[in-house]
Amino acid sequence: MNNNLKILDKKKNSVILSVDLDVYSLIAVKKTCFVFSDKYYFFIKKKSKNKVFVEVKTKDIENVDKLVGEFFNELLNNSLREEVLKNNKKIRELIVSRALFSAVDFSKKAKPTKKTNKDEDPLGIMQSWEERYEK
């Protein structure tokens, strides 16, 4: 492991990992924990401005080394997704804006709605609650 990701303590069914928040965001750490939440219990502790400890406990006894490898692979995956989302934000907004703009038909002019009188309201739906029931 490198300085960005460290194993601090390893036991039979748990491991404590240190994650550098200058490299991986806290959101990426949380998303990674969520991906594995069906198999493991996660406890996240922020130790400093740029360091977080993640304690991982297995629900069943299994290979902790495999757990660490899968966790760090998923952490890298989530970090990359976060960067791609950030880098493509403007293009996504442009695509959505164009799609919404093209859905509007500007060729038709809006006509004012015709006001009706109460004689043209046989069901009485134009009456307020007070007009209808306070008689």
| Cβ-based neighbours of 63, under 8 Å, separated by 6 or more | none
Instruction: Name the pTM for this structure.
Output: 0.55
Give the domain extent around 50: 5-91
Residue 10 located in a structural domain: yes
Q: CATH number of the domain at 50, please.
A: 3.30.1360.10
Residue 112 located in a structural domain: no
Residue that has been written with the tokens 């960005």 in this structure: 4
Residue 77 located in a structural domain: yes
Q: Number of structural domains, the chain? A: 1
Residue 118 located in a structural domain: no
pLDDT digit string, tens, across residues 73-105: 888 888 899 999 999 999 999 999 988 888 777
- The SS3 of residue 82 is helix
Dihedral (CA of 79, 83, 88, 90) sign: positive
Residue 34 located in a structural domain: yes
pLDDT digit string, tens, across residues 3-58: 666 777 777 778 889 999 999 999 999 999 999 888 888 999 998 989 999 998 88
Residue 75 located in a structural domain: yes
Residue 41 located in a structural domain: yes
Residue 14 located in a structural domain: yes
